[in-house]
Amino acid sequence: MDLPIAISKSAQPPLSPDLIARLAAIVGDKYAVTDADELAPYLTEARNLFHGRSPLVLRPASTAEVSAICRLASEHRIALVPQGGNTGLVGGQTPHNGEVVVSMRRMDKIREVDTASNTMTVEAGAILQAIQRRADEAGRFFPLSLGAEGSCTIGGNLSTNAGGTGALAYGVARDMALGLEVVLPDGRTLNGLSKLKKDNTGYDLRNLFIGAEGTLGIITAAVVKLFPKPRSVQTAFVGLRTPADALRLLAISQAEAAGSLTSFELLAEICVDICVRHGSGIRDPLTRRYPWYVLMEVSSSRDDATATVETILERGIKSGCIEDAAIAASLQQRAAFWKLRETIPPAQKREGGSIKHDISVPVAAIPAFIAEANAAVVKLIPDARPVPFGHLGDGNIHYNVSQPVSGMTTHEFLARWQEVNAVVFAIALRMGGSISAEHGIGVLKRDDLPRVKDKTAIETMRGIKALFDPLGIMNPGKVL
């Protein structure tokens, strides 16, 4: 599938054999990729929407090697694209114009676990799931959780300020980082691996790089926060009539569980339908279908998560906002509930073309947003199928639209991408929302950003980019 979006800004001049050899010498020939077949996995991504090109992928093993790469690139104005697990969804990690890719996957060490300060120091290429596992082994909990956690890296998570299912209770990636080590475009290293929760010594440089998508420098390591491991976790799958009922249930859940409500996911009926149809071993958790569902989870430091969930459901049934519910009776059933949620994107792919949105609006506005967006999209493309799901608790909805079952080819449907975007974005912005909640800007939303962002904010962002990267070599053409 090809996106109807102009990606290219300017092609990079061809690298001379001498410069390729000098760059390769920094990491060693074994870790410098030039073969076309070996390059291929770095040049596209899981959704197959973005296809890049590059003469060279470098796989450094240390901060010193990253520094040397940036220093040589700066001297010769060689454009670089940092890349983690290559799981991004907006094309920010793709070399669209022949840039050199700097893959961080070899820098995957967990340097230190400090249970006294509840921190872990990790290299940028550490896989998120490996960090979660190491925290668990140390009797702690790292709450960042994404569908791609088995392959995404912490450097990419921080560079895109990833969100995920735990943001309701723990915040997004930015909230989980205390310190960073970053290599700047000119090769200098910013050493900021602090474990301190209090440090009022000037500007908070850390937050400039989190969410910058590799346009200001390359994150090479981070100090992340750990949390006490929950003693009890309980999960429920709930059937409801409307998103407004889900909002009422959220209020009940927050009143009963307070900070122990760790996930609250909203799913439209079509999500369950396509997952049961296309997902391996996926079953409907309830005995009949409902227009809407909530997947909720309570994680407690005491042994009371099940009792709390039962109380929430009892109140929800009495208030009339719950039609039916199932509580996970085992770890296997809990995993099955979450497998259904995580199967939505791959299952939707089996339904043909999909126009995807990662919007956020104030939580109270979600029912109105969904209703208005559904009506507007179907008016624009009759028989289009909205597939809204996501993190109701923090206002982030993945408002996806699948192509009609018949009467339109995938190519014809995707050609309407910009029209659908304009309709959905306008509704979200009018409600005080954002066009990008957790996936970033990359190239997919780059041209939309100046239209939706405050003019002074855009000018300030351009000034920061010019200060850190005056030659424009660091992930050029992304975000701005």
Between CA 40 and CA 231 the distance in angstroms is: 44
Q: What is the pLDDT of residue 262?
A: 96
Q: What share of the chain is helix, strand, coil (3-state, %, to 5)?
A: 40, 20, 40
- Sign for the CA dihedral angle at 21, 22, 27, 32 comes to negative
Between CA 160 and CA 152 the distance in angstroms is: 11
The verdict on pTM exceeding 0.85 is: yes
Is residue 426 within 8 A of residue 304, CB to CB? The reply is no
Is residue 302 within 8 A of residue 323, CB to CB? The reply is no
Give 149-205 pLDDT, tens digit per residue: 999 999 999 999 999 999 999 999 999 999 999 999 999 999 999 999 999 999 999
Between CA 142 and CA 368 the distance in angstroms is: 34
Coil, helix or strand for 117?
A: coil
Residues in the chain predicted with pLDDT less than 50, given as ranges, are 1
409-430 exposure pattern, b = at least 16 Cβ within 10 A, e = fewer: eeeebbebbeebbebbbebbee
Structure tokens at 466: 């010019």
Is residue 248 within 8 A of residue 363, CB to CB? The reply is no
Q: CB burial class (10 A; 0-12, 13-18, 19+) of residue 324?
A: middle
Q: What is the pLDDT of residue 1?
A: 47
Q: With residue 186 as reference, give the H or E element that holds it.
A: none
Q: What is the pLDDT of residue 6?
A: 53
Structure tokens at 132: 């979660």
Q: What is the pLDDT of residue 48?
A: 81
Amino acid in the structure at residue 444: L
| Cα atoms in the 13 Å half-sphere on the side-chain side of 453 | 18
Q: What is the pLDDT of residue 166?
A: 92
Between CA 163 and CA 440 the distance in angstroms is: 10
54-86 exposure pattern, b = at least 16 Cβ within 10 A, e = fewer: bbbbbbbbebebbbbbbbbbbeeebbbbbbbbb
Q: Among candidates 422, 378, 426, which has minimal Cα distance to 401?
A: 378
Amino acid in the structure at residue 68: A
Q: Among candidates 295, 211, 292, 214, which has minimal Cα distance to 253?
A: 295
Between CA 264 and CA 236 the distance in angstroms is: 10
Q: With residue 135 as reference, give the H or E element that holds it.
A: helix 128-137
Q: What is the pLDDT of residue 302?
A: 87
Q: Among candidates 436, 12, 473, which has minimal Cα distance to 465?
A: 473
Q: Among candidates 166, 181, 174, which has minimal Cα distance to 211?
A: 174
Between CA 198 and CA 203 the distance in angstroms is: 13
Q: What is the 3-state secondary structure (H, E, C) of 336-350?
A: HHHHHHHHHHHHHHC
Write down all domains in the chain, each with its CATH number in brackets.
Answer: 17-103 (3.30.43.10), 110-228 (3.30.465.10), 230-350 (3.30.70.2190), 351-445 (3.30.70.2740)
326-356 exposure pattern, b = at least 16 Cβ within 10 A, e = fewer: bbbeeeeebebbbebbbbbbbbbbebbbbbb
- Distance from first CA to last CA of the chain, Å, rounded? 25
Between CA 398 and CA 377 the distance in angstroms is: 15
Is residue 56 within 8 A of residue 18, CB to CB? The reply is no
Output the CA torsion 104→39→447→454 (10° steps). 0
